[in-house]
Structure 1
């Protein structure tokens, strides 16, 4: 029997779709080589799924009994279908990382190019664009290469020459921060900390050791409590990829609202109406220039603040856990500046890491790990990093530049030309801001005219104009007491715009009314906690629901084309007679259609009459009489789902969710040549449709084709679809939410919207197609 533990590497599910596909192929390749049966393939896959991938498998272990079932489910979850645009983006973003070998970069880059079908010359161009070495790029651009092997051989030759030159130069000697060099402590007040010895890393969090290297447990989040840890080994740190860097950036935490994905200075939650919230300051210093992105151990990206006044580098517990650091469990009191009597913070322990900032690396830097509440950023970088012998840094206005000292990084800078990029704004007159109000505040600037951007309650801030050295700024006092602004006090730092600087055009989007509890139709057995979870999800997908005609979606997957039979002539009819009330109702509906862009003015030779009919609820519906147009339209055939087949697929489900598209036909655009054929005439006006309207021949076939395309692999596996009615069968509430999210993702990607009043969530019985 083959040794399954050595045949295939482990898979954790956190890599790219390309890596997932390659892992699956490696199992099939080994199976063919060794003649494995399908049962061996399935067991091999189970043995090598770790972390999140193992959780995924455990949740489906009863359903994945054959190798084919496993492959189908695996591809749907981890591989998926990557669009050409996404593949092109991944290929262009793949550049050579610092310290990465040229061979490793070249092989992955060329593989991405092959997936796009690029030829040799295009592949060569993309490979050279992503190289770190500018000299290698210039050298190889002019040389002819017949295939990838010749290009790789030249790259490796240049890499060997470059490494030889480095070893012969003074820079080839290890820096004081490199392995083997003694780290220099930049303050006599720095304390002695025991260094950690190598231990195995675990998947359960941070591995703690005592000073003898004996494993002791893991530190719980936000406390000094120590828990036993799993002894399973998880190998070395993951390979750094563009995807992993994006995930690390997405995990940035705002210490204002506590949420992830942004930082406090860009937090919109602190300013719900989007106005400027005042924070008075007596100084002109802007700490943003000291914020940097740092690479820890070459794999994890953190947001750090450079603080040359700190004697040590201090790391948050959550950041240490994310970087899988080995921490020496020895807490110690930390003291603030000028205070040697009262401890400010009690640390958790220490660790040693490699820190790279602006392409400058220090190895084995000692860091102190503290609770998350003690630090507003992931890491505070102090003098144990900034005072290394090989590092030089310079603050220029609102920029902090860092480089290698031997490279003379600042020799090209004319210090006399350095000007601050931020313009200080100061309050013109002392004034009081009443509580819970928005007021206009006049501030003064050193510029007589121009434009500037003032940071506010949005990511981009507010664009304002300077008139006679003054700027009017809307300010929100969101506190429960009056606030005073003193004359001459610093109000904010604004970014000046040059005269030639162009602003990106923006599109205004009306704010949508949030979905509340009274709008939901839920099953009788759904509790309040489940309703709250559902409400939160629906508001996250608020753009998938149209509460009125102005919010109606427009599909981007398909257009309807009306093809007429040869010899057909334009349909031209007189309007049907109506009474005064019907005439007024028709005019009101047409005006609403035109206001939302569904109908536009027309000079088309086509003119079909309109009818006003009553809905079941008593409301008026305007119907276009397209009988003559339909008689000369070429029929289009597409199968509609069989209702009996759909009912059979409901076997085993205990809970259901029904979704209904809002005016489904009106969400499908018409081709340009077909719009004039939909022209209609009323007693007062004419118009033509921009979207497919009810009553057109081929409407059902085209719409069913659209829904099949939108759902893709979700059709029949996640949801059943009959025209604009969608049905999700589920085993329980958690299963229902997972499938609902998948379906909403598909609808959002297609630009379709649902009618919330006709949607039912979590019912054990319902009317479908009724």
Structure 2
């Protein structure tokens, strides 16, 4: 009997030791083990605060951490400038939500609207990159906009960077309302294959049957997804311009009449008869299959601020005048 009791006592002691080792004594979760996989954050410009927070949130979801544990884990992974911030500011923020909001506001890059516009327009779908991968990466970049974007506005920028002209035209004709809807639509379009024109201007030859099938399916997409874009679905900014090439001219600048823009123009993203047309020519790259506003190649026209070739208005060094707003030039750039 004594030997049996000794065995029970030994098992109880061993269980207690294992509980202490695993951090489970008293029902407290062992966050230190899972936290080892979370990288340190020092607050340098090269670090991405959103990616770091996402690592914490993923670990919290798997391990069942509450908000107090998430805050403790985050603090334990701070170093450098971020650790100094914790000593001066973070210690006073006992609530995880408040701590996180202040932390993100401090270490998330603060871009101007123009800087952000250059970044977001420069992020296009890479060769071999799936539509879903591209959308998830660019959606993170859209979060850096100085003016918070609604989902339809994020979708607008996602569509602009799609590599294939046919897919871009189909999405422009009937844009999804959400990022999830965009991913679902682009995956369906990717399953179709069909003709492809990449950003270098190379055209992949397809059979007449494939073209006919693609045109038929694209013509049915608006009714299939059942979403009609509102008339003001394009991004709106308090600054009065949209950073999308060719960038919208300020109200004080009148664009001169040229042979290619005389007369009324079709709405942005319009598709002839609801389908992609193989006869539409682009004056910008001399390729058939799209028009200039959908062209992925750099625009040929001169800067509409100073009238000089070699750069666009977003890169123009012309002196700005405060009375004309953020994008107002001091002189008339178009005679």
The structure carrying a bigger helix percent of its residues is 2
TM-score higher than 0.5:
no
Which TM-score tier does this pair reach, normalised by the shorter chain?
Answer: 0.3 to 0.5
Greater strand percent: which structure? 1
Q: TM-score, normalised by structure 1?
A: 0.18
Higher-Rg structure is 1
Give the TM-score of the pair, scaled to structure 2.
0.36
Tell which has more relative contact order, 1 or 2 (C-alpha 8 A, sep 6+). 2
